[in-house]
Structure 1
Amino acid sequence: MEKMEQASQPETWFDGNKVNDVLFCEDFLAGHPMKCIHGTFFDVNGAIGDAEQIKAEIYYKIAPYVTSGIAKKATTLLDALRIRCYSPPIPYQTDRIHVANGTYFLSGDFSSQKEFCMNRLPVRYAPDAPEPSQWLSFVGQLLEPEDIITLQEFMGYMLQPTTKGQKMMIVIGKGGEGKSRIGRVLRALLGDSMNTGSIQKVEVDRFARADLEWKLLMLDDDMKLEALPQTNNIKSIVTLEDKTDLERKGRQSEQGYLCVRFICFGNGNLGSLYDRSYGFFRRQIVLTVKERKPDRKYDPFLGEKLIAEAEGIFLWCLEGLHRLIDNGYSFTISKRAEDNLTKAMQDGNNIIVFMQSEGYIRLEKGTHATSKQLYGAYGQWCEDNLEKPLGERSFSNFLRQNEDKYKLTYTNNIALGNGKTARGFKGIHVKMRTGERH
């Protein structure tokens, strides 16, 4: 009925024969203010992820006037809209958080006014929201108290479009503890500003980074234990503070900003085939969950109960964010979490454990050993401990990168006798026990 009335009073963009693209776009945007950034439409509520939704609106708007080729015309008008409302990227605003009912300023002020933004969260800011008792009980069963503080800060960190914290979070458990429920809460807080996917894909798929543009979080709910073949992309994204190259299928690559953070849930540490550097691990916060108590009952409705407390959980996250900012974006890391990271480093690089071993080497001023001698001792340690040795180059590179830590000095002047010299290190010597090969 509405369409018939519309047809009896033609729109200004229809001259009785055809649709005027320019006038149509002006009329459409008057009722649907939008910006198009890197091919994605945005309105005051953030990214409009599905362009097909806009295309459908165009279709029904022109249906009373266009009698043939309507789908093609709708596509043409959608492309015209992209050009008409083109905009450069909107600068990220780190002094405020765009929420469902307005804008929360980190100064503590709140305004019901909405403005164009890259991310508007689906949760409301309600300063009088009740304490999220279900959530607090849940995280209390999941994590130790000192690690709950870290989770609170990281969840607050994800509300703000910045990478100043320069960390990703990995939550490890045996399974069945309920850590995946955190993902459901994060979706309620972040909505379409959160992606779910695979951390491995981000590293190896050259198109994956573009999917993270405008996103505040990428959640890997079931992290694979396969070692990453490389770590360049992940390390770069975690600490990125400038534009990076974003490549999409069938399109010219573009320079864009990423402010996405990573949370991964899994049964083990995130490892790398080749990168044993401290730089890879220092970007990680590793939390381990408590084992599930045998008498703990499974609640199939817990997810819904937690989501119902979203407004209170949001205030809890804001508390963590303010504490993080006050600490200069330095996370509160417990001794337990520090030990978790040390173990992750040791699991990914057994040279670290070898350097702490006894009976094979000694760190001592005034001594020296060739790289070959040291690698031989390392090989013996690996054989004795059923460890797979890393390559000779990886071994030598590790020692050179950690000279300060172990108080070593690299040199190519270790005397072998008969006028020969070899590469090696000062401040360490090989100490082989009785019965060991030399």
Structure 2
Amino acid sequence: MREDILTTELQKVSSESQRRELYSMDWLDDKDKIIEGAFAECYLKMHPMICIHGILFTIDGIVSDESGIKNDIYSMVRPYVTSGLARKVEQLLQTIKLEAYSEPLPLQTDRIRVANGTLFLNGEFSEQKDFCLNRLPVIYDLDVEKPARWLKFMEELLNPDDILTLQEYMGYMLLPTTKAQKMMLIIGKGGEGKSRIGLVLRELFGNNMYSCSLQKIEVDKFARANLEYMLITVDDDMKLEALPQTNHIKSIVTLEDQIDLERKGQQSFQGVVYARLIAFGNGGLHALYDKTDGFYRRQLILTTKDKVDGREDDPYLIDKLRKERDGIFLWALEGLQRLVSNNYVFTESVDAKQNLVDAQEEGNNILAFMKSEGYLQFEIGKKISSTDFYNIYVSWCEDNLEKPRASAGFLHYIKENQKRYGLIYDAKCIGNRRGFHNVCKAEFTPVTGKTPFD
């Protein structure tokens, strides 16, 4: 494969002076016109790369910014191009990509590529560096000091059990896998410092991290192509508006195969997306129409501690945390090891589990209605028509200042979850009227307000 050839070539070319020795003017003809194929070959000898799906990769991973390459090309060809220089630079860049073409590299989930080599999950470490999809800008060093300021920051921000969950999730993001099938939301009232986590993630992941709103990922058909080969996607200011749809986010969180991606002006293609989603905000993530368990069970929701009165914020906190980058990496690695040993099941605190229940009820008031008292009576043998069932729900919404869902959405949810509540849907429940068995309208006693069955 071309990447093997280029890796061998790169190992031979260890210094900038040696790189320059490879440089020749063979890419100019006798009239000083550029021979594009020869130019591309020459450039790749100086700067070994491979190209997958139009994206360039070096031994340091993905090339997310091509401006440096364009500047190199510009410097090399400027004396020989009298007009259309910018167009020629773009043209040569595309030729380089064609010359560097490679089949997709395999996803390897048994190792983490770091700045000083390759770390295997079994504990082995090699200084060998080869072409890869992702390389982290961290140094693997077991002798590095513990990240004391980071650990203190965690204690100030989260409850102890939730710290374990975040540690595991940060470890989870080190590998190109979606086995855990979860996204993470960290929610607070504001001012707690949760956005500092996003800045620390940038230090750990470098250009393997993409910043984008969840709303844009869901509704913008071009945004999802930017996630290709990214390890993580961070939304550092999650909007409170409900998502108009959720199918794209759900598929990204659980994706174990290729997905259709599209870039502007290009034909759509089947690409690889394993970017884990993490978002920070002041409220949960909800959907306008998707009220299913499938949308919520993909979420890990952590809530921050309230900001302590009189706390003085440290304006240099992020600078201190950046200095602990390599130690924070080891801390995240510890979380990854725990997650893998637990078969990719996260540690979830009682609070985190309750956060999910609360989010579901906030996003779908039918859940709260079905748990309420004084409106419904559940008893084998009882019956209720679909119309009466919905009217009782509307009455509950009016009493609790809630906005009722449309009747079709309400009845669809009850039918989909009838086993959960011990109900049986019947198209001819009462005469020829549709309805449900084992439930009826509650009967209030005039004194206590309770049903006769309480």
Q: TM-score, normalised by structure 2?
A: 0.91
Aligned mate of 1:428, from 435, 439, 444: 439
Residue 392 (str. 1) matches residue 407 (str. 2)? yes
1:84 is matched with: 99
Please give the alpha-carbon distance, in whole angstroms, between the structure 2 residues aligned to 1:152 and 1:303: 18
Please give the alpha-carbon distance, in whole angstroms, between the structure 1 residues aligned to 2:81 and 2:262: 37
Deviation at 1:13, TM superposition (A): 2.0
1:136 is matched with: 151
1:349 is matched with: 364
Aligned mate of 2:425, from 403, 406, 410: 410
Please give the alpha-carbon distance, in whole angstroms, between the structure 2 residues aligned to 1:365 and 1:194: 54
Amino acid at match of 1:335: V
1:244 is matched with: 259
Please give the alpha-carbon distance, in whole angstroms, between the structure 2 residues aligned to 1:342 and 1:14: 68
Please give the alpha-carbon distance, in whole angstroms, between the structure 2 residues aligned to 1:160 and 1:391: 43
Amino acid at match of 1:42: F
Residue 13 (str. 1) matches residue 13 (str. 2)? no
Range with greater deviation from structure 2 (282-291 or 115-124): 115-124
Amino acid at match of 2:444: R
Alpha-carbon deviations, 1:67-119, whole Å to 9, x = none? Answer: 55443332222121111111222221101111111111111111111111111
User: Contact 1:377 / 1:432 at 8 angstroms: preserved in 2?
Assistant: no
Aligned mate of 2:382, from 356, 367, 384: 367
Name the CA shift for 1:230/1:309 in 2 (closer, same or farther; >3 Å): same
1:334-345 aligned at under 5 Å gives the runs: 334-345=349-360
Please give the alpha-carbon distance, in whole angstroms, between the structure 1 residues aligned to 2:225 and 2:86: 28
Deviation at 1:136, TM superposition (A): 0.3
2:272 is matched with: 257
2:112 is matched with: 97
Deviation at 1:50, TM superposition (A): 2.0
Amino acid at match of 1:430: K
Please give the alpha-carbon distance, in whole angstroms, between the structure 1 residues aligned to 2:325 and 2:403: 47
Please give the alpha-carbon distance, in whole angstroms, between the structure 2 residues aligned to 1:331 and 1:33: 40
Residue 208 (str. 1) matches residue 208 (str. 2)? no
Residue 185 (str. 1) matches residue 190 (str. 2)? no
Runs of 4+ in 1 over 6 A off after TM superposition: none
SS of equivalent to 1:63: helix
User: Contact 2:183 / 2:299 at 8 angstroms: preserved in 1?
Assistant: yes
Range with greater deviation from structure 2 (360-369 or 200-209): 360-369
Alpha-carbon deviations, 1:105-139, whole Å to 9, x = none? Answer: 11111111111111111111111111100000001
Residue 198 (str. 1) matches residue 209 (str. 2)? no
Q: What is the alpha-carbon root mean square deviation over aligned residues?
A: 1.6
Residue 318 (str. 1) matches residue 333 (str. 2)? yes
User: Contact 1:206 / 1:247 at 8 angstroms: preserved in 2?
Assistant: yes
Deviation at 1:66, TM superposition (A): 4.4
User: Contact 1:225 / 1:270 at 8 angstroms: preserved in 2?
Assistant: yes
Deviation at 1:165, TM superposition (A): 0.7
SS of equivalent to 2:165: helix
Please give the alpha-carbon distance, in whole angstroms, between the structure 1 residues aligned to 2:82 and 2:239: 53
Residue 30 (str. 1) matches residue 41 (str. 2)? no
Amino acid at match of 2:147: P
2:121 is matched with: 106
Amino acid at match of 2:200: V
Alpha-carbon deviations, 1:33-90, whole Å to 9, x = none? Answer: 1111121111111111122321211121233444554433322221211111112222
Please give the alpha-carbon distance, in whole angstroms, between the structure 1 residues aligned to 2:61 and 2:24: 32
Name the CA shift for 1:374/1:304 in 2 (closer, same or farther; >3 Å): same
User: Contact 1:147 / 1:333 at 8 angstroms: preserved in 2?
Assistant: yes
Range with greater deviation from structure 2 (365-374 or 256-265): 365-374
Alpha-carbon deviations, 1:171-212, whole Å to 9, x = none? Answer: 110000000110111000001111111111111111111011
User: Contact 2:24 / 2:42 at 8 angstroms: preserved in 1?
Assistant: no
Amino acid at match of 2:164: I
Please give the alpha-carbon distance, in whole angstroms, between the structure 2 residues aligned to 1:228 and 1:70: 45
Flag structure 2 segments of 5+ consecutive residues without an equivalent.
Answer: 1-19, 450-454
Please give the alpha-carbon distance, in whole angstroms, between the structure 2 residues aligned to 1:127 and 1:29: 35
1:48 is matched with: 63
User: Contact 1:212 / 1:258 at 8 angstroms: preserved in 2?
Assistant: yes
Name the CA shift for 1:378/1:68 in 2 (closer, same or farther; >3 Å): closer
User: Contact 1:34 / 1:42 at 8 angstroms: preserved in 2?
Assistant: yes
Aligned mate of 2:302, from 267, 283, 287: 287
Residue 296 (str. 1) matches residue 307 (str. 2)? no
Range with greater deviation from structure 2 (21-30 or 386-395): 21-30
Alpha-carbon deviations, 1:407-428, whole Å to 9, x = none? Answer: 211111212xxxx321111121
1:223-238 aligned at under 5 Å gives the runs: 223-238=238-253
Please give the alpha-carbon distance, in whole angstroms, between the structure 1 residues aligned to 2:150 and 2:267: 45
Please give the alpha-carbon distance, in whole angstroms, between the structure 2 residues aligned to 1:238 and 1:68: 48
Alpha-carbon deviations, 1:292-313, whole Å to 9, x = none? Answer: 1012211000001011101010
Alpha-carbon deviations, 1:132-185, whole Å to 9, x = none? Answer: 000000010000001000000000001111111100111110000000110111
Please give the alpha-carbon distance, in whole angstroms, between the structure 1 residues aligned to 2:24 and 2:129: 33
Please give the alpha-carbon distance, in whole angstroms, between the structure 2 residues aligned to 1:267 and 1:302: 21
Alpha-carbon deviations, 1:302-343, whole Å to 9, x = none? Answer: 001011101010000001001111111111111100111100
Please give the alpha-carbon distance, in whole angstroms, between the structure 1 residues aligned to 2:394 and 2:27: 79
User: Contact 1:244 / 1:257 at 8 angstroms: preserved in 2?
Assistant: yes
User: Contact 1:173 / 1:290 at 8 angstroms: preserved in 2?
Assistant: yes
Please give the alpha-carbon distance, in whole angstroms, between the structure 1 residues aligned to 2:87 and 2:429: 76
SS of equivalent to 1:428: strand
Please give the alpha-carbon distance, in whole angstroms, between the structure 1 residues aligned to 2:423 and 2:187: 35
Deviation at 1:11, TM superposition (A): 1.5
Identical-residue share of aligned pairs (%) = 53
Flag structure 1 segments of 5+ consecutive residues without an equivalent.
Answer: 1-5
Name the CA shift for 1:391/1:25 in 2 (closer, same or farther; >3 Å): same
Amino acid at match of 1:359: G
